[in-house]
Structure 1
Amino acid sequence: MNIQDTLDKAIKDGLQEIYNVAIENVEFQATRKDFEGDITVVVFPFLRVIKGNPVEIGTKLGTYLTESVPEITKFNVVKGFLNLVLSDSYFLRNFKNIYQIENFGIIDAKPNEKSVMVEYSSPNTNKPLHLGHIRNNLLGYSVAEIIKASGKKVYKTQIINDRGIHICKSMLAWQKWGNSETPESTSKKGDKLVGDYYVKFDQEYKKEILDLVAKGFTEDEAKKQAPLLLEAQQMLQKWEAGDSDVVDLWKTMNQWVYDGFEQTYKDLGVDFDKNYYESNTYLLGKDIVSEGLEKGIFFKKEDGSVWIDLTDEGLDEKIVLRSDGTAVYMTQDIGTAIQRIKDYPDVGGLVYTVGNEQDYHFKVLFLILKKLGFDWAKNLYHLSYGMVDLPSGKMKSREGTVVDADDLLLDMTNTAREISEELGKLEGYTDGEKEILFKTIGLGALKYHILKVDPKKRILFDPKESIDFQGNTGPFIQYAYARIQSILRKADFNYDDLSIIPSNLDLEDKEKSVLKQLALFPEIVQQAANNYSPAVIANYTYDLVKEYNSFYQSIPILAADDDKKKMFRVQLSKKVAVVIKGAFGLLGIEVPERM
């Protein structure tokens, strides 16, 4: 039984004995730093059944608890808050339990429980991944790892948007201006090569629009009548009809992009259990729409298009099939969701990591799937996140003004190199070790800077600001971990022997602060999983490091004048490092053994 359960029972027994009342719930919170105490009981809710002054009630209850609960040594009451001080022996006993748990805070998947599928990345095959994709990938991967750590089986997946007019634009531009060049002939990553032709299409398309406007067309007419767009539309029709030349080109160029994506994913440190392709799932979506039409869930308009009426639910009418029978995004997403449950029958819920500009889309999708009668539809969640902005402004793929993911990863490594060399802490490193360290620091800085922010918030990303060895940054936490590793290397004794630490060891306040923060980790993992928020993990880790650094700077560890205290402080340091590494692992961030 943990201390909160022990106190819960003791408080209920105490109020029964003192006031002859039964209390259903007891509210606890961490004691505020400006008051003495380790755990606080909120007295105000008791006033519903006990008439009296909250300070008086708290005082009587505090007296009862100090007499009946061995872990409570003293108390104080501030207004309606009863602050309880826990004994040093309680903290030591609790720490010994924590120390012996190898994966403290992380739970293995529970048998017979429904698993969760997390979708992220989901790129288009007409351009390379960019900064927006980085936030998406980091969020999705981290949420998957956190849910897994909370005790659920998780599948990581993506839907690759490999069909549509935007894909044909890149293909057509390559046909016209590519001179048969390939990733091999240009020494360029395939996704970048294809992305260049997407930009080329837009440039030439705009020229045609200007020419048509000069000939008397309105701008809207020119956009619709530009020869390049008409050719791209014809190419899409040929693709859907299975034209062999178009399909072969589509397969070739898409493979270039897949190879490029794979390299970026590897560099970013994310992976997937299963890839889905829109070119496959949109067909299943069309079949489901046909079935729904027969059941009266959908309706057909005069032009032959198929819709669903969601006005009774506060939404609007939504198209699910065009008049020419072609699919829309909603069609594909309906098909993909159903296919995933067919492929993984143990999946009880899906998490979609998609930007907040698609909030309405997912409200409609989830509602349609419920109306189609799928019981699992109630467990769908849209992990909606804000965009990533740069000091230079908004990114636009068509204009080629995006921040390329590969370029950003390289830039982060180079920035880490510059700052590390300025600090001059690289003695004894080989060139190879330095490069690994720079990448670890740079990538850690990027990931932490993005993941420490609540997903719903928009981010203004400044690469140099993220690589700072002070403050709430990845390198600050990585440095704390490396510092602890240095302590452990210098400890010339077996510091894992818990029996040497006596239960009556006197603890310093700063030691207790670290112990309290350390003990929160399992609760933090569950909280982060329930809220789909890596920010909960990131900011907890920062708070843990702050507490540890305060302890480190104030209290001697290896220089302690008492061997038992030295042993305990090294053990405490080691466990803090273990939790830092575990927490950062959930964020997809590596920690260096030395810095």
Structure 2
Amino acid sequence: MDLTSLLSPKIEKAVQELFGVKLEKVEFQATRRDFEGDITMVVFPLLKLIKGNPAEIGKQLGDYLVANCAEVSKYNVVAGFLNIVISDDYYFNFLNDIKDNPSYGFVQPKAGDKAVLVEYSSPNTNKPLHLGHVRNNLLGYSVSEILKASGKNVHKVQIINDRGIHICKSMLAWQKFGNGETPETSGLKGDKLVGKYYVEFDKTYKSEINTLMAEGKTEDEAKKQAPIIKQAQQMLLDWEAGNPEVVALWKTMNQWVYDGFEETYRNLGVDFDKYYYESDTYLLGKDVVQIGLEKGVFEKDPDGSVWIDLTDEGLDRKIVLRSDGTAVYMTQDIGTAIQRVKDFPDVGGMVYTVGNEQDYHFKVLFLILQKLGFEWAKDLYHLSYGMVDLPSGKMKSREGTVVDADDLMAEMDQTAENIARELGKLEDFSDAEKKQLYHTIGMGALKYYILKVDPKKRILFNPEESVEFTGNTGPFIQYTYARIQSVLRKSDLDINGNVAAIALHEKEKELLKWLTQFPEIVQAAAESHSPALVANYVYELVKEFNSFYQSVPINMGEPDQSKRIFRLQLSKKVGEVISSAFSLLGISVPERM
């Protein structure tokens, strides 16, 4: 049991018995390093209920806890802050309770609990995944794992944007310039091959615009009249009409992309329970518009278009059906959300992992679904995240200047290899083991660098900085885990079973305090949908372990065998929590480095 859960009911009881009032919530904070204590109760909120001097109130509470709570050994009061010192026995027993529990900090879902559906990735099939998709995938996967660890059932899905004018642009360019090349004949991954022709289309389109403008057309006229854009628009109409030749090409090129995506997902270490395709879902929601009209949620304009008026909620009017009866993205998203609940009847909420440029869209979507009367709509969440920039600037996919996800991962592996070779500690590794280690370090560096930042913040991603073995990086934490495994391998002691109670060194106590916080961190990260809380927690835990490692002998340097066993047990548990925390971020830990 963590300290806040342990102390809260006892302090509430103390307030009731000492002052005759009921305290709804106890406010705690970390004890400042310049004061003695393991946790601090803030006394000031009690002044709303109790008249008196905050220091005197704190003293009375401290005396009560020492007399009635075996876990509290002493206390001190500084102004309105009660600094509570927890007994060594509490920490000693805590380690005994958790040391044989490999899933410490994780909660199993209860039978009948509602599930959460998490959508992430959701790419277009006209280009490979890029750095922006990497952040999306890492966030979506990590939040899914954190929600699972907090006790939720989770379904991981994506919707693939596999239709529309942008898809036709790649198809048309391949028809014109591809000479029948395939992933097999070109040696290119399928998504890269299709992306190549998306760039090719844009080059030709710009050339035709310039030609038309030279002939006297305005830029707007040239953009509309360029032959290649008119051909792409016709191809889209042909696809919608079910033209067999166009549909066959569409299926072939999309499959190239799907195969390429799967390879990227495997290397990135993410997965999905179900795939949705926009070609299947783009007509969904039109029937819901009629229901919304009947309920008075939507209103029809004289031209036949259907809208919802959200001005009373501080938003604006939003179209849900065009005058010609065709759907808009909002209509499709309404229908897809409803379809997902049909597909997964246990769903009680959904998380949409989408960049912050879509903040307004999701405010409107969630509000519409609530107004339509869907109970689960109150538990919809937009996991909004900032863009990823590079030192070289912004990415543009039409111009082929995006940072390709596969290239980025290969670069991370190479950077990890260069640094590992410089450190020169891999003499006894086979080539296969070295290759696996470079990938583990490279991916750990990439994932940690991105996930340690609050999702809402924009990131400037620096590959070289992310692979450093010092500071707040993935490799630094991985190295500490490997160091712990090395210490355990070198020990000649049986560290199973309990040892007799010992007086704790201050560094042991500090490390145990960090371990007690892990379950709270998992729950807080789930509630806030923020892997950054887990990432920064494990960094602080590792810093505390390294301070402990430098301050006390863990293995051969300690003559007291009970202390050695206890410190080895403590080290082993720290390693397990590092591994557990990193698993929530989708990061592996190496046994040797």
Letter in 1 for 2:540: D
d(CA) in 2 for partners of 1:228, 1:363: 37
Match in the other structure for 2:512: 515
Kindly indicate whether the alpha-carbon contact (under 8 Å) linking 1:173 and 1:197 is maintained by their aligned counterparts in 2: yes
Show CA shifts across 1:562-582 (max 9, x none).
000000000000000000000
Spell out the pairing of 1:228-267 with structure 2 (5 A cutoff): 228-267=228-267
Q: Secondary structure at the match of 2:580?
A: helix
Q: Does residue 528 of structure 2 align to residue 531 of structure 1?
A: yes
Show the 5 A alignment for 1:302-313: 302-313=302-313
Whole-angstrom distance in 2 between the partners of 1:532 and 1:370: 22
Partner amino acid for 1:468?
E
The code of the aligned residue for 1:536 comes to: L
For residues 21 and 326 of structure 1, what CA distance do their matches in structure 2 show? 63
Q: Check whether the contact 1:98–1:519 (CA below 8 A) recurs between aligned residues.
A: no
Matches within 5 A, 1:106-121: 106-121=106-121
Q: Note closer, same or farther for the CA distance 1:225–1:321 as it changes in structure 2 (3 Å cut).
A: farther
Q: Is 1:482 the equivalent of 2:472?
A: no
Could you tell me how far apart the structure 2 residues matched to 1:290 and 1:23 are? 51
SS of match in other structure, 2:519? helix
Deviation (angstroms), 1:302:
4.3
Give, in angstroms, the shift of residue 584 of structure 1.
Answer: 0.3
Q: 1:584 aligned to 2:582?
A: yes
CA deviation vs aligned residue, 1:189-238 (integer Å, no higher than 9, x gap): 00000001111111111111111111221111211221111111111111
RMSD of aligned C-alpha atoms?
1.4
Show structure 1 runs of 4+ deviating over 6 A.
Answer: none
Kept after mapping to 2: 8 A contact 1:143/1:533: yes
What's the TM-score once normalised by structure 2's chain length? 0.97
SS, match of residue 284 in structure 2: helix
Residues 118 and 156, structure 2, Cα contact 8 Å, conserved in 1: yes
Secondary structure at the counterpart of residue 75 of structure 2: strand
Alignment deviations for residues 468-504 of structure 1 (CA, whole Å, 9 cap, x no partner): 1000000000000000000111111211121xx212x
**Cα separation, 2, equivalents of 1:23 and 1:317:** 46
Alignment match, 2:140: 140
Using the alignment, how far apart are the partners of 1:393 and 1:7 within structure 2?
51
Aligned length: 592
Distance 1:238 1:295, change over 3 A: farther
The CA deviation at 1:33 is 1.8
Deviation string for 1:499-535 (max 9, x for gaps)?
A: xx212x1100110000000111111100000000000
Deviation at 1:330, TM superposition (A): 1.4
Q: Does the CA-based 8 Å contact 1:170-1:198 persist in structure 2?
A: yes
Question: What is the alpha-carbon distance in structure 2 between the residues aligned to residue 511 and residue 271 of structure 1?
Answer: 39
What CA distance in whole angstroms lies between the structure 2 residues aligned with 1:466 and 1:276? 34
Shift in CA distance, 220/2, structure 1 to aligned 2, threshold 3 Å: closer
- Determine the structure 2 residue equivalent to 1:419: 419
Cα deviations by residue, 1:309-363 (Å, 9 ceiling, x for unpaired): 2222221122223334333221221121111001001000010000000001111
Q: How does 1:123-162 map to 2 (within 5 A)?
A: 123-162=123-162
Change (3 A) 1:217 1:303: farther
- The question of 1:548 aligning with 2:545 is answered yes
Q: Secondary structure at the match of 2:373?
A: coil
What is the distance in 2 between the residues matched to 1:480 and 1:4? 29
CA contact (8 A) 2:362 2:382 kept: yes
Runs of at least 5 residues in structure 1 that lack an aligned partner in the other structure = none
**Equivalent in the alignment of 1:355:** 355
> Could you tell me which residue of structure 2 aligns to residue 342 of structure 1?
342
Question: What is the distance in 2 between the residues matched to 1:137 and 1:265?
Answer: 9
The CA deviation at 1:29 is 2.1
Alignment of 1:439-454 (within 5 A): 439-454=439-454
SS in 2 for 1:70: coil
SS in 1 for 2:283: helix
Match of 2:500 among 499, 502, 510: 502
AA of the residue aligned to 1:26:
V
Distance 1:302 1:2, change over 3 A: closer
Q: Secondary structure of the equivalent of 1:497?
A: coil
CA distance in 2, matches of 1:17, 1:362: 50
Superposition TM-score, scaled by structure 1 size: 0.97
Structure 1 partner of 2:203: 203
Q: 1:224 aligns to what? A: 224
SS state of the match for residue 350, structure 1? strand
Give the counterpart letter for 1:590 in structure 2.
S
SS at match of 1:66: helix
Q: Does 1:399 align with 2:399?
A: yes
1:185 aligns with 2:182: no
Q: Secondary structure at the match of 2:146?
A: helix
SS for the counterpart of 2:308 is: strand
Amino acid at match of 1:371: K
* CA distance in structure 1 between the aligned counterparts of 2:548 and 2:497, rounded to whole angstroms: 22
Mapped contact 1:169–1:198 kept (Cα < 8 A): yes
Q: Could you tell me how far apart the structure 1 residues matched to 2:108 and 2:214 are?
A: 67
